[in-house]
A = this chain, B = another copy of it.
Amino acid sequence: MKKFFSLGIAGLGNVGLATVKLIQNNSDLIEKKAGIPIKITAVSARKRSKSRKINIDIYDWENDALNLSERKDIDAVVELIGGEEGIANKLVMSSLKKGKHVITANKALLASHSLEINTILLNTSSGFYFEAAVAAAIPIINVINTGISSNQINYIKAILNGTCNYILSEMKESNSSFDDALKRAQKIGLAESDPAFDIEGIDACQKLSILGMLAYGTKPEIKNIYTEGIKNISNLDMIYAERLGYSIKLFCIANFENKMLDFRVHPALIQLGSIASHVNGALNAIFLTGNYSKKLTFIGEGAGPDPTASSVVSDIINAAKNRNNNQKILLENIAEYPYLSIKERSGPYYIRFLVDDVRGVLANITSCLNENNISLESIIQEGDNKGQSGVNIVIITHDTKEYCMDKAINIIRKMKTVLEEPKVIRVEDI
């Protein structure tokens, strides 16, 4: 019988190094939990000679990560390179085909190639683990697949991008502009120099597609998920939202009703006083309801090397424990359901118009809304706009369909008295 569980680790960026460090530091505990010692046998990264805080010379080095999938002395390949194509993709696929267990944190790969991985898994004895791909330290994959597996999940609502949540929290707390808050996020390493992937909601969308796949057994289809980032959220909207009893979050929704998938990522006003409104900084949160569990809430670090390594190594322990017992954590049967169009979204809206301070403006706007079956729950109109030209009219509507809202806004934006593009933000229950 083999004396240890042998790893090949590909990718020695921040997460890769934190993974190595965690395996070194918690080794006694890891052995106790896994029931077998876990040893790193070989590593691979772009450059061998780079200066690193951790000594990697004690491990075999592979210039070509793909060699890890070939080595007979490796039980499991840990893929921490990232990216949906390229070497990460090849390494995962070939390792699985060769019967290696695979542990990955690669959300892009899962969001785009889950069907392919699924097909391979059906014909191999490999185990496949990806806890770290969504919400870093929060073990939400494990919760959905195992902890609450007896439930039909009714909905998932989530805050899945730590960068956006940090920026929005910062805008609110420090009364900053979006640009300033973004700069601060970049300064502390929470946002990339090209922040598009985070602030446009793509990262959150990939993660949501994975949760949706696990919750509803549906094929992930990024292109069908309505995705809107946070670039248009202004500090002024934060302030008005708060006055109206709301805070603004980048919200992810995966709802399954009447055999339709309602998946979307967009900024949303959520009630102050809700637990979600207290999820600040770089935290992630997932709120879901099962038909028996009822509502469950999970909050934790959604990014960062250590929290991500926490899930990577917990997966490694799981892989070692189940090494002789194939774990199929992808889907046995992938279902394809239609996606609800964002136009069919029904709910309240926050709208802000910057208008000329002349008689009749408010009447024109409200009658246009009324003609499109949109009724108002609350309204703020203020005379003084601190020396700026125009005044703001801020409205929270009652429930309405998005296509009605679109129609009304299309008319209102063309009014001469409306000075800038109207701001529309969905209001969501949580």
Contact = CB atoms under 8 A, between A and B. Distances in A.
A26 B35 CA distance: 34
A306 B294 contact: yes
Interface stretch (A77-85, A228-236, A285-293, A399-407): A285-293
Interface stretch (A144-152, A352-360, A382-390, A421-429): A144-152
A298 B285 CA distance: 10
A292 B307 contact: yes
A317 B139 contact: no
A269 interface: no
Contact of A310 (B25, B293, B298): B293
Contact of A18 (B273, B292, B313): B292
A146 B325 CA distance: 16
Given A143-B143, A322-B325, A325-B322, A30 B150 contact: yes
A150 B38 CA distance: 11
Nearest to A23: B150
A275 interface: yes
A314 interface: yes
A137 B292 CA distance: 8
Contact of A148 (B25, B137, B152, B316): B137
A124 interface: no
Contacts of A279: 275
A318 interface: yes
A343 interface: no
B295 A300 contact: yes
Nearest to A312: B150
B150 A26 contact: yes
Size category of the A interface is 35 or more
Interface in A299-346: 299-301, 304, 306-307, 309-314, 316-318, 322, 324-325, 328, 332-333
A294 B307 contact: yes
A53 interface: no
Nearest to A326: B325
A31 to B, nearest CB: 10
A328 B311 CA distance: 21
A259 interface: no
Contact of A22 (B292, B296, B333): B292
A297 B299 contact: yes
Contacts of A26: 150-152, 291-292
A29 interface: yes
A294 B300 contact: yes
A278 interface: yes
Contact of A294 (B137, B152, B273): B137
A32 interface: yes
Nearest to A21: B292
Max chain B C-beta neighbours (<10 A), residue from A150, A151, A291:
A150
A138 interface: yes
A198 interface: no
A71 interface: no
Contacts of A150: 22, 26, 29-30, 33, 309-310, 312-314, 316-317
Contacts of A312: 150
A65 B65 CA distance: 57
Contacts of A299: 275, 296-299
Contacts of A298: 296-299
Given A143-B143, A314-B147, A137 B29 contact: no
A345 B369 CA distance: 61
Contacts of A273: 278
A103 B139 CA distance: 22
A114 interface: no
A142 interface: yes
Query: Across chains A and B, which 5 residue pairs bring their CB atoms closest together, nearest first?
Result: A139-B147, A150-B313, A137-B293, A297-B299, A292-B310
10 contacts: A26-B150, A137-B293, A137-B294, A139-B148, A142-B147, A148-B314, A275-B279, A294-B310, A297-B300, A325-B325
